[in-house]
Amino acid sequence: MAAVASLVAVVGTVAGTMSALDGSEGDDVARPQVTRSPDLLPLPAVPTATSASASAGPSPSPSHAKTAKKKPDPTARASTGRPVAPVSTRLYRHADSQVLDWVRANPSDPRRPLIESRIADRPAAVWFADFTPDTITSRVRAVTSTAARQGRVPVLVPYAIPERDCGGASEGGAPDIAAYDSWARKFAAGLGSGEVVVILEPDALSQTECLSGGQLADRYRALARAGRAFKSANPRARVYYDAGHSVWNPAATQAARLRAAGAASPASSDGVFTNVSNFNRTSAEVAYARRVLAAMGGPPSLGAVIDTSRNGNGAPANGAWCDPAGRKLGQAPTLNTEERGIDAYLWVKLPGESDGCRGEPGSFTPDYAYDLAD
């Protein structure tokens, strides 16, 4: 498999970032679970001209638990020491998540105040990474209806495209395009009528090397249909398509794929997203997203959203991707970036959910979360 990736891969992705999966309790509700299908492990990032080659595989790093209790600063700061933008009060925070479960279960843990104030209290995406067509409508509706009652905007991640992750560690999804089309329509039926942000199929347009020409054309058409279905079901849905990240595919290459998938049409798209589960600095992603949008040639209304959950210190120089040391929280989630063409900074990958080195893939790892937040 090519060394490319953002990768959702662990992206808390299936268990992930906050995952709305089928609950074993039998109730049809949105509930996070860690799952081994897929067993999320991201690919290494493509090295830039100034960085060393990506490591060949994950090298588990030791856990360095903090023992001294540290009072959290109520204003989270990026690694530069500058205050980050305040959290958008309009974004929805899902009440069920692994980090919240840990906070509730560990009231006396010295790491708790920092993890709670800087991660658990922040809104993050809700992932739908399992192919369960019988319950997808009601599980999506459980999130959107709760958010609507609170007057807030949820961020949803449909992640069930066939041939997901090219058969790699994040493999899974619908068995074929027809099944995906049906799943996507059922997903759309749960979107309600309130404002909602949809991050459509991370990596689906960035990682395509395993697909034949016919399979790629089928994927493009399926993603275009999904976007149209979402916006038809809920005109207030804001749908964003996969643009990878700034050190993956060239902007012109990605733009051509995006056009083929309907991302340049306002009937199916509001723009693109970048940096999901990756660590690239916001400034680099802003510049890259603008290049992609310009190359797409769509209407000026199209914008971009950037995953800033773990990019406070930028990407590691050695290309490490698996819970790399020295990373920090990035820009707080917000729908007001004050950047031309950039609609939102979002936490698509939930900080503290492991890539597979400091904890089980997709599981919340408090040492890792603390290091990101500290």
Catalytic residues: 165, 203, 355
Separation between Cα atoms, residue 196 and residue 207, nearest integer Å: 26
Determine how β-strand 196-200 pairs with β-strand 237-242. parallel
Tokens linked to 237:
């849905």
Q: Please report, to the nearest 10 degrees, the dihedral formed by the alpha carbons of residues 296, 315, 126, 261 taken in order.
A: 20
Residue 42 phi, psi dihedral angles, 5° rounding = -75, 155
Question: CA 337 to CA 341: how far, in whole Å?
Answer: 9
Query: How far is Cα 258 from Cα 255, in angstroms, rounded to an integer?
Result: 5
Element (H, E) at 15: none
Burial class (CB in 10 A: 0-12, 13-18, 19+), 253: middle
- Report whether 35 contacts 15 (CB < 8 A): yes
Q: Cα 105 to chain center, whole Å?
A: 26
* Tokens 């840990």, residue located: 102
Residues sharing a CB contact under 8 Å with residue 82, sequence separation 6 or more, in sequence order = none
Output DSSP code: residue 260.
Answer: H
Which pairing describes strands 237-242 and 126-128: parallel, antiparallel, or unpaired?
A: unpaired
Give yes or no for a contact between 333 and 91, defined as CB atoms under 8 angstroms apart: yes
Instruction: Please give the Cα distance from 7 to 250 (Å, whole number).
Output: 17
Strand partners, 21: 31
Rounded CA separation 41/169 (Å): 5
